[in-house]
Amino acid sequence: MQTIGILIVTALVGAILAWPRLAKAKLWRASATPLASIIGSGFLVLGPILAQAYGAGTPLAMAALCAMAYAIGGVIRFNIVAVDQRDHGPISKYIETLASWALSFAYIISVAYYLNLLGSFAVSLTPWDTALAGRIVTSAVFAVILTVGWTKGFTALERLEQLSVGLKLAIIGGLLFGLGWFLAETVQQDAMVFAPVATTGWAGVSLLFGLLVTVQGFETSRYLGQEYDAKMRVRSMRIAQGVSTAIYMIYVVFIAYVFEADQIQPSETAIIDMMALVAPILPILLVFAALAAQFSAAVADTSGAGGLIYELTKGRISVKLGYVILVAFGVAITWGADVFLIISWASKAFAVYYTLQALIAVGLAKRDGAGITKMVFFCVIAMLCAVIAIFGAAVE
């Protein structure tokens, strides 16, 4: 009965998202891009990491992470409006160039993050479930992306991103239904688990900093200016962050109190083993979601990084050569680091980008007379992101 319910909910959510009136709605299309980025990879790894580290305090940790992301999003939203009304000044423009370099570097690491997760999930339900096999798959997908980008460009794959958003959200709907059912059964059996917080003090804070990339992605709204006006981009970012926060909070509440410590393994695919205890169908659905979502996200960031490098070097490095650089770094990272270390590196890279955006916001607020309160807020965010960039820690 539970499995039937999961499949029905998955199909229902998928049908709603495919409904032409919604799928073609401008606000939904504007919101889907940042939403897909925010709940992409994070949804696959966050639950087990938080539950293992923070135990019964997992919802509080998740709430802190989402609040931090929303505050940083406030910086990006301010910059969207301020720059739309009046272009950058000389200093602001220089910092924006630095921020673009930081973003291109963050893209390089995030693509490695996406594809390493793809490799791990691709082999997770096979007899070859090893780190070596996962890295081989990851390297092969890097080769595919480079070949497609070099020969044909990514236009043919853009539709995959739109399809993966619907698939991912539909499967998340089914997963939440299954977890809710499992939690209800646990409550009825009086078997709820209230695990102690395992990672406390500064170690707990620095771990949370190292997970910033799992709720990152809202900044993509800033770069949709050719398709949507400033008001639409700001609104779409708020919707994306609001929806993703609701999904994440429901998810962690459902997951935090039903698993014993020995049922949560310290691996990037831990969610597969955990969901197998909830319902046999969920691991299969999650693998499908992971493969589609990670590949489409990697394609989007590869395309974005290639374009950024081309613009920043004023054409001295072609878009295609940018793809080669990205893939070379990605393969090196794949064979030189594990997924959890890559997650912390990606978080640091995006934190540098957010630090620079916050500094831009301070200058724009001063220029536009936005008030001392906003300037202080942006300064605080800049300092917070700088601390994340320096002290964000990887999962041990």
d(CA 154, CA 156): 5
Does residue 190 carry a pLDDT above 80? yes
Residue 330 structure tokens: 């990605």
Predicted confidence (pLDDT) at residue 162 exceeds the cutoff of 70: no
C-alpha to C-alpha distances, 30 to 78, 89, 162, 277, 357, nearest whole angstrom: 17, 28, 11, 36, 21
The pLDDT assigned to 199 comes to 87
Q: pLDDT digit string (tens) for 217-246?
A: 888 887 776 778 888 889 999 998 999 999
User: Is the pLDDT confidence value at 354 over 90?
Assistant: yes
Q: Would you say residue 7 lies in a domain?
A: yes
Q: Specify the number of domains making up the chain.
A: 1
Are 150 and 18 within 8 A, CB to CB?
no
Residue at 306 is within a domain: yes
Q: Do residues 299 and 163 touch, judged by C-beta distance below 8 A?
A: no
Q: Does the pLDDT at position 142 exceed 80?
A: yes
**pLDDT value at 356 more than 90:** yes
Q: Is 396 contained in some domain?
A: no
Alpha carbon distance 224, 215 (integer Å) = 19
What pLDDT is recorded for position 379? 94
12 belongs to a structural domain: yes
Mean pLDDT for 347-367 is 90
* Integer Cα distance of 91 and 288 in angstroms: 46
153 pLDDT exceeds 70?
Answer: no
Compute the average pLDDT of residues 363-388. Answer: 89
Question: What average pLDDT does this structure show over 160-188?
Answer: 83
pTM equals 0.89
In 3D, which of 325, 269, 305, 273 has the Cα closest to residue 116? 269
**Residue range(s) defining the domain that contains residue 266:** 2-391
Q: What is the 3-state secondary structure of the chain?
A: CHHHHHHHHHHHHHHHHHCHHHHCCHHHHHHHHHHHHHCCHHHHHHHHHHHHHHHHHHHHHHHHHHHHHHHHHHHHHHHHHHHHHCCCCHHHHHHHHHHHHHHHHHHHHHHHHHHHHHHHHHHCCCCCCCHHHHHHHHHHHHHHHHHHHHHCCCHHHHHHHHHHHHHHHHHHHHHHHHHHHHHHHHHHCCCCCCCCCCCCHHHHHHHHHCCHHHHCCHHHHHHCCCCCCHHHHHHHHHHHHHHHHHHHHHHHHHHHCCCCHHHCCCCCCHHHHHHHHHCCHHHHHHHHHHHHHHHHHHHHHHHHHHHHHHHHCCCCCCHHHHHHHHHHHHHHHHHHCCHHHHHHHHHHHHHHHHHHHHHHHHHHHHHHCCCHHHHHHHHHHHHHHHHHHHHCCCCC
Confidence of residue 340 (pLDDT cuts 50, 70, 90): confident
Q: Is the pLDDT of residue 86 over 80?
A: no
Let me know if residue 149 belongs to a domain.
yes
- Distances in whole angstroms, Cα of residue 143 to Cα of each of 323, 324, 343: 11, 10, 22
Q: Tell me, what's the pLDDT at 151?
A: 78
With a cut of 80, say whether residue 84 has pLDDT above it. Answer: no
pLDDT of residue 157: 58
Task: Note whether residue 268 is domain-resident.
Answer: yes
Is a pLDDT exceeding 70 seen at residue 352? yes
| pLDDT tens digits along 258-302 | 888 777 777 778 888 888 888 888 888 888 877 877 877 777 777
Give residue 66's pLDDT: 94
- Let me know if residue 197 belongs to a domain: yes
Mean pLDDT of 350-366: 91
Average pLDDT in the chain: 84
Residue 127 has pLDDT above 60, yes or no: yes
Cβ atoms 352, 72 nearer than 8 A? no
Q: How far apart are CA 382 and CA 180, in angstroms?
A: 38
Whether the pLDDT of residue 303 is over 60: the answer is: yes
Q: What's the CATH number where 13 sits?
A: 1.20.1740.10
pLDDT of 161 reads: 61
Query: Pick the residue with more confidence: 225 or 50?
Result: 50
CB 65 within 8 A of CB 47: no
